[in-house]
Each structure stands twice: as C-alpha cells, then as structure tokens.
Amino acid sequence: MAQLWGGRFTKETDKLVYNFNASISFDQKFYMQDIEGSIAHVVMLEKQGILTEDEKNAIVKGLIGIREDVESGKLEITDEYEDIHSFVEANLIERIGDAGKKLHTGRSRNDQVALDMKLYTRAEVLQTAELVQELLTTLLDIMEANTDTYMPGFTHLQKAQPVTLAHHVGAYFEMFKRDILRLKDIYARMNYCPLGAGALAGTTYPLDRNYTASLLGFEGPTLNSMDSVSDRDYIIEFLSALSTIMMHLSRFSEEIIIWNSNEYRFVEIDDAYSTGSSIMPQKKNPDIAELVRGKTGRVYGALMSILTTMKGIPLAYNKDMQEDKELTFDAIDTVKGCLALFNGMVKTMQFHKEVMARSAMNGFTNATDAADYLVNRGVPFRDAHSIIGRLVLYCIDKGTSIDALSLEELKEISPVFEADIFEAVSLETCVKKRLTIGAPGPDAMKEVIAMNRQFLDDCWMKDTM
C-alpha cells in the first residue's frame, strides 16, 4: 500500500478500505494521458519560473522513461499503488529523486483526473467517429450500386409501398450521419482544459492555464475551477451519443435478422460472420447482429448509471466521481467493437435482389399508386381510396394482384381505368415517379448520394487529428 497522503494519519488504512478506495485496476487505462498531462504541466511550471530548467528536464525525461518502460512491459503497473497518479509520481521520485517531488506543484489529483479522463475520452470520441465514418462509406457504396434494386418498404412490418435498397439503406446513412455530427458537437463542447483548477479553488502559483491548454491541444482553459473538477457532463453526452449509435445499430441488426430469416431470404450473411448450431446441422445463425442488438442494453446501462451517480453530488469533487470510469470504458470498447463488426458483416452480406423485387411485387405495394392514377383522372382521393380498397379485396378473393387483372375486370370496378393503368402500377413506375428529394426515385436518390459522398469527403475528423 503506497499512498501520497500519509502525513496526517497515525494508523494504516484498513486493507478492505484500501481496496474499496483504489482505482488503479481501471485508471491504469489512461497512464499515457496522465504522463502527457504531467509533461505539459511541468513545461508550463518552468516557463512561469516555478521550476528550473534542470528540474523540468529531469522530470520530463523521467516521465518519458516511465512511459517507455510501461509500453515495453519492463515496468508493470501493480495494485501496490492506489491510483495511476500515485504510481507515476512514486516511480518518478524513485527514478530522479527530489526533483520528482516537485511534479505535483500547483496541481491536485482532482484537476489531474479531470484532465486524464478528458484526454482519454476526447481521443475516443474521434476514434468512434472514424468507425462510424467507415460504416457510412460501406453504406454509401451499397446505395450507389442499388438505386434500382426494388424491395418493399414497410410500415407496421406490413408491406406498404415499393422502395429501393439504396433508399432503405439510405435511411440508416442519415441516422449514422447525425451520430457523427453529434460526436463533432460533443468534441467541440468538451475541448477545454481543466488543469490548473487545483483541488477546487485554483492555486496560488502564477500558472499559465492558457499555455497548458494550448500544449494539450485544447481550445482554452475551463472558466470555473469548481466546475472544472466536478464536470462529467461530457461523459454523459458521449454515453448518450454512444447509446444512440447502439440504438441505430440495433434497429439495423433487427432488420438484418429478419431479412436473413428463412421466410424472407432478402440477404445472406457471409459464412465468416455467421455461426452454427451444436445440434442442428442445417443452422446458420446471425449471431453478430443478435449480439450487437443485445449489447445495446449494456451501453444504455452505463449512461443511466453515470446520470444517477452524478445527480446528488454537491460541488465540488466527491469520490463518487471515480465511478465514471469503468462503465464508460466498457461502453466505449463495446460500441467500437460493435461498429467494426457490424461494418464487416454488412460489407460482406449478399443481397438477393430477385427475392426482394418479387416480394415488392406482391402485397399490393402499388395500391397507393393505383389510387393516385384515379385521382389524376378526376376521381376525388377519398373515393379513389375506397375503389382501390374494393379492388384489393377482389384480388385477395381471387388470389391475384392488381397488375395481373384484365382491363375488363378493372373497368368493372371503375370505368376510369384505361390500358395505361398497367404501366402506372408497375414496380418500376411506382419507384421512378417518387422523384422529390428524399424519395426513392433513382434520380432523387443519385442526387442525395452525391451530397452524402461530399459529406464523407469533408468529414471533420481530418482537421482535428
């Protein structure tokens, strides 16, 4: 048990208390950020004349040595220390002696941990956005190749109107596009440096907080020291964005599971992304899609947990906040894993285009267009709706579809029908005529695809790296 704060105490910490309090088992995940923050801190201290150049050089060299040794495995992070901050500082003192004891001048673990977590999360926001961008690229490629691959569009999971595969996938493109934009907003809002806030009330040293912030790539310093050490909003915002990404992945997974079912057969998931059954030799299961759907609950859980942890905490730092880490790390790793796997699954998935088109042809997906045909020939929409309703009933009775009827049969139901009705209710016409922006008509779709290609080319992460 090695602690930074023994001076005031006359007794050893109880072992169970020590273990309950310690965070090293999980905060070691940001040892690099801890060292990066410490280097910026001492560079600033020297510029301000608080440390000598020799002291700064010795500390920076020592810190780089620790980072290299941890990376190479020469130095192991053990639970002998309470947290990663104590581990780094104790090791530094061991390596360089008295100069190491000056590292913590004008700093508290409260602003230190606030910084470490922020640096870690900031990088993860970018990495998540990159994975979403990769998925968007896959989706756009599928859209480009399928502007005239017909399929039924559904409402209430009942066939509604014909769309195209490009259009259906395009709906998910828009969802994941908003996810990237959300990450961009979060990045901009969180990008202020808490270091220099001290324990809660700043410090009495002449720190240059602007300088530290710029060394670490922040927009500037945070503006209230009590808020700086106790703000976890950005974690909550990030978890909320991650939850929304999972919700989108889960909806898409659910569709893929349905499309991949024996009844639908719209798609075939690649062997590399499917699993078998230990007893039923014929089985090929969509486990990846199911797991992505399943893991959504775990990410929502992290969001609810941290919202609840934060809700009763008075200013400023309280130890409750240590609970911000494990679930956040788990949620980030989960979402990144799901994005990468989902992308691979979609990229390698086969679309059975003829099955989709056949499915779009039956189920009366052209009934609205048949009603529109009558409206265009002067029948009021409400009457047209009722005429086509009767027509559908007639077809159901005869076990046929609107386009398979003869003109005589059609005329019996409404004399307004002429020979051009067949062209008007063909699958191709039904889709082609939907030409306003956002609709599945191939020309409208191509315009949207071009706009989205531009969006991907301009993606904001490139300027941030």
Catalytic residues: 156, 277
As measured in angstroms, the least distance from the Cβ of 332 to ligand ARG is 16
The span of 109-117, 298-306, 419-427, 429-437 binding ligand ARG (CB under 6 A) equals 109-117
Among positions 38, 110, 250, 401, the unique one binding ligand ARG when judged by CB under 6 A: 110
* Angle at which helices 53-72 and 31-47 cross, to 10°: 170
Binding residues for ligand ARG, total number by CB under 6 A? 10
When computed from its CA atoms, the radius of gyration of the chain, rounded to whole angstroms, is 31
Q: Does 295 bind ligand ARG (CB under 6 A)?
A: no
The span of 35-43, 46-54, 107-115, 159-167 binding ligand ARG (CB under 6 A) equals 107-115
The span of 54-62, 167-175, 313-321, 342-350 binding ligand ARG (CB under 6 A) equals 313-321
HEC string for 286-331: CHHHHHHHHHHHHHHHHHHHHHHHHCCCCCCCCHHHHHHCHHHHHH
DSSP element (H, E) containing 221: strand 220-221
CA distance 316 to 229: 7
Residue among 110 and 309 whose Cβ is closer to ligand ARG: 110
CA distance 461 to 161: 38
CA distance 142 to 166: 7
Q: Does 321 bind ligand ARG (CB under 6 A)?
A: yes
Q: Does 83 bind ligand ARG (CB under 6 A)?
A: yes
State which of positions 199-238 bind ligand ARG (CB under 6 A): none
Burial of 11 per CB tally in 10 Å (0-12, 13-18, 19+): exposed
As measured in angstroms, the least distance from the Cβ of 229 to ligand ARG is 9
355, two tokens: 């099955």
Q: Does 310 bind ligand ARG (CB under 6 A)?
A: no
Residues 6+ apart with CB under 8 A from 114: 194, 195, 197, 228, 229, 231
Sign of CA dihedral 442, 443, 446, 452: negative
Residue among 28 and 110 whose Cβ is closer to ligand ARG: 110
Q: Does 322 bind ligand ARG (CB under 6 A)?
A: yes
Q: Does 113 bind ligand ARG (CB under 6 A)?
A: yes
As measured in angstroms, the least distance from the Cβ of 325 to ligand ARG is 6
Instruction: Give the SS3 label for residue 150.
Output: strand
x/- mask, ligand ARG, residues 24-63, rule CB under 6 A, reads: ---x------------------------------------
Going by C-alpha positions, the residue among 41, 70, 59, 45 that lies closest to residue 216 is 41
Residue among 9 and 272 whose Cβ is closer to ligand ARG: 9
CA distance 346 to 79: 42
As measured in angstroms, the least distance from the Cβ of 9 to ligand ARG is 14
Q: Which residues bind ligand ARG (CB under 6 A)?
A: 23, 27, 83, 109-110, 113, 317, 319, 321-322
